[in-house]
């Protein structure tokens, strides 16, 4: 597994991947940033690994440095409900920062081979006491990124039409985890993921994608969807 994190021979973190600018670490002077990185652990995760389990004690905070993942919950009848998606530079497990011991409210899995920096609860609590900007950044993330995702999900699920829900979800994913190319925006997502996220059947997702592919709006690839004309996706519905 390739990793762009900068590590010493003793596996100590000495720098972030080039061009990675996590909001959690923004505005922190270099000397303090170096101290924050030096006490983190570096972890590698294989695709489809579940890193955090819902209702486990919140003991660690993670900063994803490569790969992508998502939060999810399992309902009482065994259904998997997808929540917030994650890309490199985002944190998860933030409940460990709280002063009072708490539980994780959702599970977190990575969808590709990924790397993360990890701070245990005692360490992150000491860091936010010494460097208040860390706590400010975490709060800013909680009340912006998470609310945006919640709003997008509610807009998608509020649609009475299944095609509309899939379209809204694709647009949200394009802005969150999409990779811009000269042909359009590439989204690494499976039909099953879209079905779970939009609360429709995989058959409905397949039918939507075929219709949009005929219209030249999307192109289906193995494990990916190329969104050629995002501006037409919702209008096509």
Which of 151, 179, 194 terminates a domain? The answer is 151
pLDDT score for 216: 92
- pLDDT tens, residue order, the chain (237 aa): 668 889 988 788 999 999 899 999 999 999 999 999 999 999 999 999 999 999 999 999 999 999 989 898 898 888 888 787 888 999 999 999 999 999 999 999 998 899 999 999 999 999 999 999 999 999 888 877 666 666 666 666 666 588 888 888 888 788 777 888 988 999 888 888 888 778 788 999 999 999 999 999 999 988 889 999 877 877 655
Where does a domain end: 93, 127, 151?
Answer: 151
User: Are 216 and 123 within one domain?
Assistant: no
Shared domain for 36 and 88, answered yes or no, is yes
The pLDDT of residue 233: 78
What is the reported pLDDT for 92? 95
Number of domain units in the chain = 2
pTM of the complete model: 0.77
Residues recorded for the chain: 237
192 with 111: CB under 8 angstroms?
no
Is there a domain that residue 27 lies in? yes
Residues 129 and 29 occupy one common structural domain: yes
Same domain membership, residue 181 and residue 125:
no
Ramachandran region, residue 225 (left: φ > 0; alpha: ψ -120 to 50; beta: rest): beta
How far is Cα 23 from Cα 213, in angstroms, rounded to an integer? Answer: 36
**What CATH number is associated with residue 219?**
1.10.10.10
In this predicted structure, what is the pLDDT of residue 155?
61
Q: How many helices (H) and strands (E) does the chain have?
A: 7, 14
CA neighbor of 67 nearest in space, from 10, 125, 4: 4
In this structure, are 76 and 129 located in the same domain?
yes
For residues 114 and 63, membership in a common domain is answered with yes
Q: Are residues 100 and 167 in the same domain?
A: no
Range of the domain at 10: 6-151
- Of 105, 132, 151, which one is at a domain's C-terminal end? 151
Residues 231 and 129 in one domain: no
Domain annotation covers residue 1: no
Q: In this predicted structure, what is the pLDDT of residue 223?
A: 80
CATH of the domain at 31: 2.60.120.10
């Amino acid at each position: 597994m390739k990793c762009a994190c900068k590590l010493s021979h003793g596996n100590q973190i000495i720098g972030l991947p080039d061009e990675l600018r996590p909001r959690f670490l923004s505005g922190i002077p270099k000397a303090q940033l170096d101290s924050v990185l030096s006490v983190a652990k570096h972890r590698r995760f294989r695709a489809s690994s579940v890193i955090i389990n819902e209702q486990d004690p919140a003991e660690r905070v993670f900063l994803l440095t490569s790969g992508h993942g998502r939060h999810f919950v399992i309902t009482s009848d065994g259904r998997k409900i997808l929540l917030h998606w994650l890309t490199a530079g985002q944190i998860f497990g933030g409940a460990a920062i709280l002063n009072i011991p708490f539980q994780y409210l959702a599970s977190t899995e990575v969808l590709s081979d990924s790397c993360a920096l990890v701070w245990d609860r005692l360490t992150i609590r000491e860091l936010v006491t010494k460097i208040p900007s860390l706590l400010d950044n975490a709060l800013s993330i909680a009340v912006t990124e998470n609310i945006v995702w919640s709003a997008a999900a509610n807009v998608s699920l509020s649609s009475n039409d299944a095609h509309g829900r899939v379209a809204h979800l694709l647009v949200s994913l394009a802005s969150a985890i999409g990779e811009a190319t000269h042909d359009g925006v590439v989204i690494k997502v499976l039909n099953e993921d879209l079905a779970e996220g939009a609360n429709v059947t995989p058959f409905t997702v397949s039918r939507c994608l075929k219709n949009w592919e005929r219209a030249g709006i999307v192109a289906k690839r193995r494990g990916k969807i190329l969104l050629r004309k995002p501006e037409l996706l919702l209008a096509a519905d």
